Amino acid sequence: MTRFYITTPIYYVNDVPHLGHAYTTMVADALARFHRSVGDDTRFLTGTDEHGLKVEQAAAARGLSPNKLADQVVERFRDTWVQMNIANDDFIRTTEPRHKQVVADIWRRIDAAGDIYKGAYEGWYCVSCEAYYGEGDLVEGKKCPVHKREVSWLSEPTYFFKMSRYGERLLEHFEKNPGFVQPEGYKNEVVSFLKSGLRDLSVSRTTFKWGIPVPGDEEHVIYVWLDALTNYMSALGPIGGELHRRYWPATCHLIGKDILKFHAVYWPCMLLSAGLPLPETIFTHGWWTVRGEKISKSMPATRVDPNQLAEDIGVDALRYYLLREVPLGLDGDFTYESLIGRYNAELANDLGNLVSRSLTVAAKFCAGAVPPAHGPLATSGRHGEIAQVARQVIGETEGHLRACAPSRALEAIWRLVREANRYVNDTQPWVLAKDPQRKEELDHSVRIALEALCCAARMVAPVMPKTAEKILALVGMVGARGQEAIARWPVADRFGQELELGAPLGASTILFPRIDEARQAALLERWIPTDARAGEPPAAAKPSPAAEKTSDGVEVTFEEFGRMDLRVARVLSAEPVPKAKKLLVLTVDVGDGTPRQVVAGIAEAFRPEELIGRSVIFLANLKPATIRGVTSQGMILAAGADAVLGLSAVDRDLPPGTRIR
């Protein structure tokens, strides 16, 4: 049996769950549910990261012990996951004994491999931040960039992990396993980081105590990332134990792009040293902003509360929106308006209509019970067409979910939903019902509409489990039959034969009541905190007047030109933007360690693969904007006023980030 072990990052307990955490966990949940439905031996893990300075400080600020804070916040996470209908098989806390044992075990293995040595970590230290800074980070002479306070040169004894020994082996692993880090752009980012050479890693601290002690030297606590990453293994019990043998290596670590280096460099190096197999895939997703802004505690408008949204529009609607709106891997922008827009168009209209119309015609013309299909009609004309679409969609959706592309999967399912709505329109059961000679045709078309609905419900179940269950009950799949239908992925060749002849149907119902303008206003009132309601659309969405005016012949001053931060950027990845013929979404390396995502209107002039590795001129300080739901942070310069005629370039190989003046 195929094994599928998927994990989310474990969340810090210094913060309560927000949209970003909910997103990762929902994606992992949907993928786990899908893999269970295709019969894989599935395990899905999430949990909390409870050690480290960050948590210690957050606890102190609230006058609590770190333990107490963790105990409180962990409940918020657990409750949220129940509300979000997350079906995780296990939940790990890094303060649990089972975890601490495995962390100590990994430490000992790394030590036994000769990869731990004692030294001193030196650097400029800011006491307020409790963090070391590099020379280049300091401002105004020798001041910390955050607090603008004098830093001091400190040296802390520390154990180092000889990570530098593993760079080559890890690069080889990347070569032999092209799917190790996905999507491609993130892989390229890690590979170029590895090629620049690895340094040894400081893996213990002495300046605070909230952590797991270093075996044999209680003065030190183990570096929080070594501690945290081990959760993926410690949740399976002792190394070599039954669960470990069954599920390790993990199939997929699903992570946000912020923690890529830890997962794709540190963790594999530790595992190589400890003599343990590496995870199969590290799948990296992008970053959600809220109305163009980064989610942050100090910006109330960006603190989207998933629990509140789920309460108001239903958890399935929220899961649908988050998984459908942005292809996994890309950055996206969350707005309440787009949430409501998709809710109305795709749930209330497309899916909601199919539910109410197919059940209405069944109640009216088929006595509210599943009617018989009529064999000879199944392959003919309109009836044959929809069956073909359904069979295709089942295969395609399965492929997308196997490839961790839930947005594409939902797009495919909606092709069937829309096709089924058209089918009801085209076959017109209400007309067929007027002619007793056409009873068989009437029954068949009602049956196929119901079958299409049932099929769509089963495919949508990993993303919208409650909705799927409701729909299946409505089409007469109740009790064990309903459970079974959800638990098993539909088989393409069985399309049209899944329902039970004569099974009583539910009454036509409105699953997703339309959100009209008045309700929308009321919801926005509730969702957007009063102190964040400026009445203005987000700055990023507004074109700047200057940009509108600019045309040939307008002079700019030297200062104006100087405000443009032009840089050499290297293209790491390029992909089409779904349903936008002219657009490509690129990630580019601008030399600051954080690749940028940009949407560029160059798809008609370049194929994505032609762009990877090219150096272009990049406007780095253009205000971020959202284009077709995809975040764009900058602009690639190209030649051509309307059509793109060529791409900007520099005439020699210069490192990304080089300034252009």
Binding residues for ligand MSP, how many (CB under 6 A)?
19
- Alpha carbon distances (Å) from 544 to 81, 125, 549, 561: 41, 41, 9, 16
Footprint of ligand MSP on 3-42 (CB under 6 A) = 9-12, 20-21, 23-24
CB of 323 or CB of 638, closer to ligand MSP: 323
Distance CA 661, CA 647 (A): 18
Nearest to 100 by CA among 238, 204, 203, 274: 238
Catalytic residues: 18, 21, 126, 129, 144, 147, 294, 297
Q: What is the largest CA-CA distance in the chain?
A: 93
Q: Where does 602-657 have alpha helices with state H?
A: 608-611
Token couple for 77: 């996470």
Query: Least separation, in Å, of the C-beta of 255 and ligand MSP?
Result: 5
HSE value, Cβ hemisphere, 13 Å, CA-based, for 475 = 33
Query: Least separation, in Å, of the C-beta of 297 and ligand MSP?
Result: 12
CB of 287 or CB of 606, closer to ligand MSP: 287
Torsions phi, psi for 173 (to 5 deg): -60, -40
Specify the stretch interacting with ligand MSP by CB under 6 A; choose among 136-144, 165-173, 228-236, 597-605: 228-236
Q: Give the per-residue contact string, 348-387, with ligand MSP (x = CB under 6 A; - = no).
A: ----------------------------------------
Could you tell me how far CA 543 lies from the centroid of its own chain? 28
DSSP for 239-259, please give it. Answer: TTSHHHHHHPSPSEEEEEGGG
* Binding residue for ligand MSP, selected from 45, 46, 49, 329, defined by CB under 6 A: 49
Query: Least separation, in Å, of the C-beta of 24 and ligand MSP?
Result: 4
Query: Least separation, in Å, of the C-beta of 163 and ligand MSP?
Result: 17
Strands 630-632 and 625-627, by their bridges, are: antiparallel
* Binding residue for ligand MSP, selected from 210, 288, 365, 489, defined by CB under 6 A: 288
Q: 55 and 228 in contact (C-beta within 8 Å)?
A: no
HSE value, Cβ hemisphere, 13 Å, CA-based, for 572 = 25
CB burial class (10 A; 0-12, 13-18, 19+) of residue 188?
buried
CB of 133 or CB of 266, closer to ligand MSP: 266
Q: Which residues, other chains included, contact 74 with Cβ-Cβ below 8 Å and sequence gap of 6+?
A: 13, 48, 50, 93
Footprint of ligand MSP on 50-79 (CB under 6 A) = none
493 bridge partner residues: none
Q: Give the per-residue contact string, 240-279, with ligand MSP (x = CB under 6 A; - = no).
A: ---------------xx-xx--------------------
Distance CA 70, CA 153 (A): 33
Query: Least separation, in Å, of the C-beta of 284 and ligand MSP?
Result: 9
HSE value, Cβ hemisphere, 13 Å, CA-based, for 606 = 25
Q: Give the per-residue contact string, 173-212, with ligand MSP (x = CB under 6 A; - = no).
A: ----------------------------------------
Residue 229 as a binder of ligand MSP (CB under 6 A): the answer is yes
Specify the stretch interacting with ligand MSP by CB under 6 A; choose among 136-144, 145-153, 224-232, 619-627: 224-232
Query: Least separation, in Å, of the C-beta of 45 and ligand MSP?
Result: 11
CB of 31 or CB of 394, closer to ligand MSP: 31
* Binding residue for ligand MSP, selected from 107, 287, 320, 321, defined by CB under 6 A: 287
Binding site for ligand MSP (CB under 6 A): 9-12, 20-21, 23-24, 49, 228-229, 231, 255-256, 258-259, 287-288, 295
